[in-house]
Chain A
């Protein structure tokens, strides 16, 4: 049933495209695959998929690990460790992505330089690091919510069968929390894909950057940005379907083991 919604979206876009013949406002020729230049443009635009996907996957992967590292001290009995977790989450969550991106890409090398380090950050890694750090505050909170949702009785039962705190986490709490953690983590991946567009401003040749470059040469923002949105839409819908599938799988698991 849900897929009707998506079909409607495509239909809407298709009808926008069909306006082109009757109205002078549209110039779909820029991305008309039957013409040589249109085809070249399309190829150039679609060529950004690789970078966007790679960027998002690496950033998401790093965020998943970093988020866990940030979340764990939050469960400590130690006030200092717990504070460390809170400060990180509140601080990182408060920084808008774009300023953070500038800070990492333009600012961090200055720090490295003053320390006498020869570390260069290219646009790709600048974007990956920024996305990963920015997102890790959210993934840390997802871990926290998931782990806290496991009842105290489970922890106590683990303790009474002699498990250490770490073992209880590893064998009892985390495996159960995982099925509550995975769906929101996967959702967070959608957020990363969309935010990866910011990488265009530091020169990363991903989807948005390529669209901008064609717009500058062709003066056809409407058509090209429409295509750009369509590109993100396809990506996000694919992930969205994957998340649904995952939720369903975990959900059915839950119903026969809880």
Chain B
């Protein structure tokens, strides 16, 4: 199958601190990759390098055949093909839900207002909150806000979806509704990179699991083996911690 993300030996520094240390990762079209690891291990940084919210210092990343560089045209070429869902939702508080969803397609992709609206309503339906379209985001629950954020990302018809701990800011009773939406998307064949500690979700959805610590990928494995027989002590310890909570 086609390789959509190819990360070769990248490193990333924040000042002197090495946040990513020679990371290699390939993601195939339609593949679901779950990234886990302790806090501060570089998961967010890695994911943010893929859509260039951070730039890497060494190595190479190519996304959908485009090598990511400082060149502006590279941003143009992957723009909206890689979409992202943040831990803190980052909805636009001054816009209604529907305007949150249509802004990107209209302004960035040049889609007509009518089509953007149809698209938005379709995806709101898919994340199961069609009735909230004309409210401001702050009137919704956390789970609903995150589902709006997912719909907003989908409205761009991306080829790759990145999730950075999409349920970590949610109250426990809302986690399931968000995971269900993401799972639904996974079953639909979307290519996804998901940073999460929800191991139940990883078991169900992941094609492979990446375990990170100290800016390095310590283990890359398929879920069935990762959960039964983790390769390293650190991944074992990590699993004990998350599974017993």
Interface residues of A (CB under 8 A from B): 151, 153-154, 156-164, 167, 171-172, 175-176, 256-258
In the complex, what's the smallest C-beta–C-beta distance from A79 to chain B, in angstroms? 16
* Cα–Cα distance between A161 and B109 once the two chains are bound (Å): 9
Chain B residues within an 8 Å CB radius of A158: 92
For the complex with contacts A159-B53, A256-B138, A257-B137, 19 further pairs of A-B residues with Cβ separation under 8 Å are A151-B90, A154-B92, A156-B86, A157-B86, A157-B91, A158-B92, A160-B53, A161-B108, A161-B156, A162-B80, A162-B104, A162-B107, A163-B104, A164-B108, A167-B108, A256-B139, A257-B136, A257-B138, A258-B93
A163 touches B93 (CB 8 A): no
Are B138 and A171 in contact, with the CB atoms below 8 A? no
Kindly report which residue of chain A lies nearest to residue B81, judged by CB atoms: A162
Question: For residue A159, which residues in chain B have a CB less than 8 angstroms away from its CB?
Answer: 53
Q: Which residues of chain B are within 8 angstroms of A167 by Cβ–Cβ distance?
A: 107-108
B83 at the interface (CB under 8 A from A): yes
Q: Please tell me if the beta carbons of B138 and A160 are within 8 angstroms of each other in the complex.
A: no
- Inter-chain CA distance A146–B85, complex, in Å, is 26
Are A161 and B94 in touch, CB under 8 angstroms? no
A162 near B90 (CB under 8 angstroms)? no
| Complex Cα spacing A157 to B94, Å | 14
Which of A151, A171, A257 is in CB contact (< 8 Å) with B107? A171
7 pairs of residues in contact across A and B, judged by CB atoms under 8 Å: A153-B88, A160-B53, A160-B153, A161-B152, A162-B108, A176-B93, A256-B139
For residue A172, which residue of chain B has the nearest CB? B92
Q: List residues of B (126-172) whose CB comes within 8 Å of A's CBs.
A: 136-139, 152-153, 156
Say yes or no: A157 contacts B90, CB within 8 Å: yes
Partner of B94, one of A162, A163, A176: A176
Residues from chain B with Cβ under 8 Å of A161 in the complex: 80, 83, 103-104, 108, 152-153, 156
Determine if B79 is an interface residue (Cβ-Cβ < 8 Å).
yes
Looking at the assembled complex, report how far the CB atom of A153 sits from the nearest CB atom of chain B, in whole angstroms.
4
Cβ of B84 under 8 Å from chain A: yes
Q: Which residues of A sit under 8 angstroms from B94, Cβ to Cβ?
A: 175-176, 257
B235 lies within 8 A of chain A by Cβ = no
B137 closest partner in A (C-beta): A257
Q: How far is the CA of A176 from the CA of B94 in the complex (A)?
A: 7
Instruction: Give the residues in chain B near A258, CB-CB below 8 Å.
Output: 93, 138
Q: Contact at A160–B88, with CB atoms within 8 Å?
A: no
| Residue-wise interface mask of B (165-206) relative to A, using a CB-CB cutoff of 8 A (1 in contact, 0 not) | 000000000000000000000000000000000000000000
Q: Are A163 and B108 in contact (CB under 8 A)?
A: yes
When C-beta atoms are compared, the residue in chain A nearest to B99 turns out to be A171
Does B51 sit at the interface, judged by CB under 8 A? Answer: yes
